[in-house]
A = this chain, B = another copy of it.
Amino acid sequence: MSKQQKTAITPTRAEDYPEWYQQVVRAADLAESSPVRGCMVIKPWGYALWENMQSVLDDMFKSTGHKNAYFPLFIPISYLEREAAHVEGFAKECAVVTHHRLEAGEGGKLVPSGELEEPLIVRPTSETIIGETFAKWIQSYRDLPLLINQWANVVRWEMRTRLFLRTTEFLWQEGHTAHATQAEAEEETLKMLDVYADFAENWMAVPVIKGEKTEGERFPGALNTYCIESMMQDRKALQAGTTHFLGQNFSKAANIDFLDEAGNRIFAWTTSWGVSTRLIGGLIMTHADDDGMVIPPKIAPSHLVILPVLRKDSDQAAILEYCRKIKEELEQKGYAGGNVRVEIDNRELRGGEKMWSWIKKGIPSWIEVGPRDMESDSVFFGRRDLGPKERKGIGRQEFIDTFIQVLDEIQDRLLKRAWAFRETHSVEIDFEEDFYAFFTPENDHRPEIHGGFALAHYSGDPDLEAKLQNDLKVTVRCIPQMDKPEPGTCIFTGKPSAQRVVFAKSY
């Protein structure tokens, strides 16, 4: 590029990636910081996106046999204490409720009153409280498997927060299941990992690597944690969803046992799995560009915005009618399990400003309709994946007839683009020196591909993981699922390695 182009977002990704992220969230009207420390306000455009994601995931959970239920927001401290690793993982970031009313204190200022006998924490996750209930629901093998999901808000007190990526309160779903055998529970854990990967790739257009976490990265209390990992445009990894095989840890802690067919009393095998509003952070960092948000059509709050160009001398009523008819025709078309969603933006704003507001919001496509477009029975069509300079006139009927195909094409292109980006920045590394260079920009002889996913043989030593984290801020993102894992030699220790694992810096 010979001259610098003006972008809608300042700074650009290249100039200051973290600040670019904040500016995209703001410009796209997705969310904002709230006056309550660490909590966000999810704005209508961001919430509509979340609703679409919820709706698809919810269908996937239901079609794999899960039912939704709702459990209390509060958890008695004593429950948390029952599982040692679990309490260790969450005690340092709990909102604690200690009183149940306010009364006027000195100078009329309200102060907490009515101290609770046992403080409650606001759920950071619900294994303990749901386990307590499962213990009542499960008596016999006939009650199994028990497959429950909950959509809820959770709270983990975070000191450094970033919209969607890390907030004190966030929205999520948490699946909790109990099974008669270890094999069934492990199968469930992997099945839900597949559901998450399917959702990420086929709906969010976010390519992911499915794999297993190393011991140090497991969920507190789990025997095994699986994850989907995706690459952001700064080449860091984002963990987009996790599923946990909990073994009998939580069933022993909450006494979830059952009588099997032979009449033996056995502890159930449990799992849990979740994705959260963090996914939206991942979506932004996968697809957004220097002009703002880019939303894949399948989960977009609206697929098309119609921008009527109303000049004083034009027949405004006729243009609006022309727009309304296009909207009506498109909205009868089925797309992605629902119907096409169209908005008409009739705000009193200059045309360019109006168009750019939608580009920044990441709507997949838009049309401008002025007097001349109407006269020639056409529309002026823009696609978010192509950029505003590639807008073009197209006959109205052709536009309507091909619209679904265009949405499919946009969805497909976004996935392929993200896929290509990840492939470009995933490198097999066979020497420790190269590994250090890869994650140290100033030492890297290939700075243009510096710092993506390093696929390297590794012998699985926790001390080594600590050292890499300390030296480079790099961790094992996962031990990826592979059809044919090839053994090799650990690049750090020379010990045998069963397969390459994925190393990266991460969110």
Residues of A within 8 A of B (CB): 32, 34-36, 39-44, 47-48, 50-51, 67-77, 79-81, 87, 91-103, 109-112, 114, 119-122, 129, 132-133, 136, 142, 148, 152-153, 155, 157, 169, 171, 347-348
What are 17 sample pairs from A and B whose C-beta atoms fall under 8 A apart?
A35-B129, A35-B132, A36-B75, A42-B70, A44-B69, A70-B171, A73-B155, A74-B95, A77-B102, A87-B102, A91-B102, A94-B100, A95-B100, A96-B102, A96-B112, A98-B99, A111-B119
- The residues of B that contact A70 with a CB separation of less than 8 Å are 41-42, 47, 50, 171
Q: Which residues of B contact A96 (CB under 8 A)?
A: 97-102, 112
Q: Are A41 and B81 in contact (CB under 8 A)?
A: no
Check if A101 sits within 8 Å of B94, measured CB to CB: yes
Query: Within 8 Å CB of A111, what residues of B?
Result: 119
Known: A91-B102, A96-B98. 19 other contacts (CB 8 A): A36-B72, A36-B129, A39-B72, A41-B70, A41-B72, A43-B69, A44-B67, A44-B69, A73-B155, A87-B102, A91-B103, A93-B100, A93-B101, A95-B120, A96-B112, A98-B98, A101-B157, A111-B119, A122-B122
Instruction: Judge whether B112 and A71 touch: CB under 8 Å.
Output: no
The complex places the Cα of A74 from the Cα of B69 at a distance, in Å, of: 23
Residues of B within 8 A of A142 (CB): 347-348
Partner of A68, one of B39, B41, B47: B47
Q: Which residues of B contact A119 (CB under 8 A)?
A: 99, 111-112
Copies of the chain in the assembly:
2
Closest Cβ of chain B: how far from A258's Cβ, in Å? 15
Is the pair A74, B39 in contact by a Cβ cutoff of 8 Å?
yes
Give chain B nearest CB distance to A503 CB in angstroms: 31
Nearest Cβ on chain B to A20's Cβ, whole angstroms = 22
> A48: which B residues are within 8 A, CB to CB?
67-68
Q: A69 to chain B: which residues have CB within 8 Å?
A: 41-44, 47
Contact, CB under 8 Å: A112 / B132: no
Residues of chain B within 8 A (CB-CB) of A103 are: 91
With A44-B68, A72-B41 in contact, do A91 and B80 touch (Cβ < 8 Å)? no
Complex: chain B residue closest to A348, CB-CB: B142
Chain B's nearest CB lies how many Å from the CB of A164? 12
**A132: B residues at CB distance < 8 A:** 34-35
Residues of chain B within 8 A of A121, CB atoms compared: 102
Most chain B CB atoms below 10 A, which of A69, A132, A142, A155: A69
